[in-house]
Structure 1
């Protein structure tokens, strides 16, 4: 796999991290949304680890 794919995964990972922080900053964070975002983030992290 090439570096551009890994870079894309890193950008997605950072974007999800930002979404999680935004959700946590809300007056009433949605736990289900946060959980879903964390699952997506973990899948991306696992894919990056394979490369």
Structure 2
């Protein structure tokens, strides 16, 4: 995966992460909250954040100390 592909993937994941934020907030405003669905969204959001962090780390060059 080259740098451009990594950056494109990061942008896609960040958009999905924002969409999940919106979905979570919408779910919380419902009169009866589906806690299982809420937990699934939160776990997916955490997985996205982990993948974003991993990809961002790939963009940082290794520095030999």
Give the TM-score normalised by structure 2.
0.74
Which residues in structure 2 correspond to 1:35-46 (within 5 Å)? 35-46=39-50
Q: Where do 5+ consecutive residues of structure 2 fail to align? A: 56-65
Which residue pairs with 1:29 in the alignment?
33
**RMSD of the TM alignment (CA)?**
0.9
How many matched pairs? 51
Q: Which ranges of 4 or more aligned residues in structure 1 deviate by more than 4 Å? A: none
Of 14, 17, 31 in structure 2, the residue corresponding to residue 10 of structure 1 is 14
Q: Where do 5+ consecutive residues of structure 1 fail to align? A: none
Give the C-alpha shift of residue 3 in structure 1: 1.1
